[in-house]
């Protein structure tokens, strides 16, 4: 259980740099309030709280990529990782220690977005809450996996650029605040070739009362990508540290 | 490999080699380092020092050959090797948002120390490294010297039998460097220490033995005294004064093979320099000598002469 000591350090490292954490948590809920207030003046379905909330939550997870990638690339560049690699930690300890501390941030993002959404008029029950977590936790893990890939391969400066691309890709191609079906064409095809739009669609369907059986197709995409990104993250880390 | 292990040695390398593509960073390195010895590896950037240390720390796999650390083969028994070594990397390699206490406790826990041992070792090292007053501050607020001392403390917390110090005083001011030397001196004899440095006076002051590496091969090895004795005839004379024109300097260059121009002066290196002859020659050329010194070969000279060899 040595990974717990390192995970504990990583938690402190993230939470003691509050500006980025607050940005990753506060910005999505602020956007939610902003877009919903637009819909009150100009009634557009995609800006209603019911439709917008899943999009904002999935968008907020792209910040997890940044947190995970920056933590790892910083440790690589400062040679702190070298010190850790000389210790008797096993590869699996590193993977767990660099991914687990990010999950509480995802949960905080979900809780804050739901709290704001309830104030804005959304109706949630325990069933919806549980089912939406079944969709949202895997996509959060997928974003952590992308972070591990970027953090293993790129420098801290490069991570800032690549992480921004992930944020843009998830917001544009996820269909968080634009209807991919309405845009259609290549844009829609790219969107549905990535996991973000599937996660948003599945969560929206759950809000409308759909059960797990109705979102199986979306779940294949989400879980498939999650496994892929996590495996690539582990391989990238091992490749960069194996010497 | 068991048959080559000698229990008097901490480290034995056997044709240790590492290649990166076509480049051979470390070439058939054969070294023996005794228990409790402070052994320095000197060499230019890219000479192979850090690659050697990385292989000995099991961070980099040798292309061929191997090394035995206290009876454990770095290729076959990396887990056992990692339990008995520790490293203070070239960079300070500390967690900036943690305090000194937290950094030390983290490493102690990673090496499996109990809570009680962690606490006592942390207190002991905080004291030894002179970090007590700032131990509860986040390390991002510490000076460069304190960070370096913490880095070494982190390498010591697991009580390693073999300690690797990769350029431990890099970037420190002279006072902080001297302070760190004192801390390293205290460790001598108890642990086998492998030090890499670019500072010759540091290697001279601290090392029991030194190896000078060039292009991945050992070019010289011995105690600082033995290495300097190899250049026993070499002397350096530095003269500062007025009227040292280019013409006069060129005349001197014709007589001695190694002459460097300095600000208002010259440095002459050579074997068995005749003090009076040089002074008289300069004075007869009209140079008004203001200051001069003559010194025997230093480790710097040994290092330079080895690296000048083609």
* pLDDT tens-place string over residues B108-124: 999 999 999 999 999 99
pLDDT at residue number A144 = 95
Q: How far is CA A33 from CA A59, A110, A155, A172, B100, in A?
A: 15, 15, 35, 19, 42
Distance from CA of A98 to the nearest CA of B (A): 14
Q: How many other CB atoms are there within 10 angstroms of residue B263's CB atom?
A: 5
Instruction: Please answer yes or no on whether B61 and A17 come within 8 Å at the CB atom.
Output: no
Rounded CA separation A197/A175 (Å): 6
Nearest to A223 by CA among A165, A144, A132, A137: A137
Report the residue of chain B nearest A243, measured CA to CA.
B60
Longest CA–CA separation in chain A, Å: 60
Which residues of chain B make contact with A242, given a CB cutoff of 8 A?
A: 61
A243 to chain B: which residues are within 8 Å by CB?
54, 59-61
- Mean pLDDT on A101-114: 92
Is residue B309 over pLDDT 70? no
What average pLDDT does the segment B239-254 reach?
A: 84
3-state secondary structure of A11: helix
CB A1 within 8 A of CB A100: no
Q: Minimal Cα–Cα distance from A58 to chain B, Å? A: 29
Domains of chain B are: 2-223 (3.40.50.300), 230-308 (3.30.70.980)
Whether residue B109 and residue A88 make contact (CB cut-off 8 A), yes or no, is no
Report the residue from B54, B57, B97 with minimal CB separation from A13. B97
pLDDT at B6: 66
B106 touches chain A (CB under 8 A): yes
Residue B13, SS3? strand
Report pTM: 0.81
Residue A151, pLDDT > 90, answer yes
Judged against a pLDDT cut of 90, whether residue B99 lies above it is answered with: yes
> How far apart, in Å, are the Cα atoms of A80 and each of A13, A36, A204?
12, 44, 42
Average pLDDT of chain A, as a whole number: 90
Beta bridge partners of B269: B236, B258
Q: How far apart are CA B109 and CA A6, in angstroms?
A: 9
- pLDDT for A162 equals 93
Q: Is A1 helix (H, G, I), strand (E, B) or coil?
A: coil
CB contact under 8 A, B97 and A12: yes
CA distance A109 to chain B (A): 23
Cα-trace Rg, chain B? 23
Shortest Cα–Cα distance, B94 to chain A (Å): 6
With bands split at pLDDT 50, 70 and 90, how would you rate the model's confidence at B190?
confident
Beta strands B38-42; B209-214: pairing state: parallel
DSSP secondary structure letter of residue B257:
S
Q: pLDDT class for A81, splitting at 50, 70, 90? A: very high
At B160, is the pLDDT very low, low, confident or very high (cuts 50, 70, 90)? very high
Q: Do B110 and A12 touch (CB under 8 A)?
A: no
Check residues B249 and B57 and name the one with the higher pLDDT. Answer: B57
Tell me if B59 and A83 make a contact (CB, 8 A cut-off): no
By the CB < 8 Å criterion, does B288 face chain A?
Answer: no
Q: Under an 8 A CB cutoff, do A88 and B110 touch?
A: yes
The token duo for A145 is 């996996």
How many inter-chain contacts (A to B, CB under 8 Å) are there?
74
Selected residues 119-138 of chain A with any CB under 8 Å from a CB in chain B: none
| A188–B contact, CB cutoff 8 A | no
**DSSP calls for A85-153:** HHTT--HHHHHHHHHGGGHHHHHHHHHHHHHHHHHTT----HHHHHHHHHHHHHHHHHHHHHHHHHHHH
State the average pLDDT for chain B.
Answer: 88
Q: In angstroms, what CA-CA distances link B276 with B146, B285, B288, B290?
A: 48, 14, 15, 15
Q: How far is B188 from chain A (nearest CA, A)?
A: 22
Q: Which residues contact A43 (CB under 8 A, 6 or more apart)?
A: none
Mean local confidence (pLDDT), B133-161: 91
pLDDT band at B77 (very low <50, low <70, confident <90, very high): very high
The pLDDT value recorded for residue A21 is 77
DSSP code string of B118-175: HHHHHHHHHHHTT-GGGTTSBGGGS-HHHHHHHHHHHHHTT--SEEEEESTTTT--HH
When pLDDT is cut at 50, 70 and 90, the band that residue B207 belongs to is very high
Strand order in the sheet with B217-222: B85-88, B162-166, B192-197, B38-42, B209-214, B217-222
Record: contact B58-A86, CB cut-off 8 A? yes
Examine the pLDDT at A114 and tell me if it is beyond 80. Answer: yes
CB contact (8 A) between residue A5 and residue B138: no
What does the alpha-carbon distance between residue A114 and residue A124 come to, in Å, rounded to a whole number?
A: 9
Residue numbers of B between 39 and 78 with CB closer than 8 Å to A:
54, 57-61
Chain A closest-CA separation from residue B152 CA (Å) = 11
List all residues of chain A from 49 to 108 with a beta carbon under 8 Å from chain B: 78-80, 82-89
């Amino acid at each position: 259980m040595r990974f717990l000591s390192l995970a504990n350090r990583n938690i402190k490292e993230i939470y003691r740099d509050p500006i980025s954490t607050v940005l990753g948590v506060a910005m999505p809920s602020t956007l939610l309030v902003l877009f919903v207030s637009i819909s009150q003046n100009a009634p557009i379905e995609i800006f209603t709280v019911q439709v917008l909330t899943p999009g904002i939550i999935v968008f907020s997870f792209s910040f997890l990529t940044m947190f995970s990638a920056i933590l790892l690339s910083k440790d690589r560049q400062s040679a702190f990782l070298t010190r850790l690699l000389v210790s008797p930690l096993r590869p699996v300890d590193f993977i767990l220690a660099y991914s687990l501390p990010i999950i509480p941030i995802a949960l905080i993002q979900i809780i804050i977005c739901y709290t704001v959404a309830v104030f804005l008029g959304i109706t949630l029950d325990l069933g919806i809450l549980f089912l939406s977590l079944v969709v949202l936790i895997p996509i959060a893990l997928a974003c952590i996996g992308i972070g591990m890939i970027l953090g293993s391969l790129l420098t801290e400066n490069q991570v800032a650029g690549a992480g921004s691309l992930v944020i843009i890709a998830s917001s544009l191609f996820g269909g968080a605040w634009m209807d991919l079906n309405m845009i259609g064409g290549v844009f829609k095809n790219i969107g549905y070739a990535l996991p973000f739009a599937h996660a948003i669609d599945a969560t929206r369907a759950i809000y409308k009362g759909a059960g797990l059986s109705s979102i199986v197709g979306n779940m294949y995409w989400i879980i498939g990508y999650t496994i892929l990104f996590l495996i690539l993250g582990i391989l990238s880390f091992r490749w960069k540290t194996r010497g | 490999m068991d048959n080559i292990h000698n229990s008097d040695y901490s480290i034995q390398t056997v044709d240790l080699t590492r290649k990166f593509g076509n480049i051979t960073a470390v070439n058939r390195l054969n070294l023996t380092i005794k228990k409790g010895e402070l052994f320095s590896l000197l060499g230019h950037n890219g000479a192979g020092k850090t690659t050697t240390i990385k292989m000995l720390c099991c961070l980099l796999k040798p292309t061929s050959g191997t090394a035995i650390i206290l009876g454990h083969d770095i290729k076959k028994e990396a887990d056992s090797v990692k339990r008995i070594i520790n490293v203070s990397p070239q960079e300070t390699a500390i967690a900036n948002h943690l305090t000194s206490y937290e950094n030390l406790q983290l490493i102690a826990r990673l090496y499996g120390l109990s809570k009680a041992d962690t606490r006592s070792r942390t207190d002991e090292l905080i004291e030894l490294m002179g970090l007590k007053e700032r131990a509860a501050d986040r390390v991002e607020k510490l000076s460069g010297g304190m960070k370096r001392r913490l880095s070494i403390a982190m390498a010591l917390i697991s009580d390693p039998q073999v300690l690797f110090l990769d350029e431990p005083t890099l970037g420190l001011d002279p006072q902080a460097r001297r302070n760190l030397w004192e801390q390293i001196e205290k460790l001598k004899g108890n642990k086998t220490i492998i030090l890499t440095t670019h500072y010759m006076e540091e290697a001279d002051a601290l090392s029991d033995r030194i190896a000078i590496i060039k292009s991945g091969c050992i070019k010289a090895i011995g105690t600082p005294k033995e290495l300097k004795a190899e250049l026993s005839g070499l002397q350096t004379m530095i003269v500062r004064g007025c009227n040292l024109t280019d013409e006069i300097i060129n005349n001197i260059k014709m007589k001695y093979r190694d002459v460097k121009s300095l600000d208002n002066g010259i440095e002459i290196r050579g074997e068995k320099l005749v003090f009076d002859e040089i002074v008289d020659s300069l004075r007869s050329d009209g140079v008004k000598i203001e200051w001069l010194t003559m010194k025997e070969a230093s480790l710097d000279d040994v290092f330079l002469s080895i690296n000048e060899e083609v």
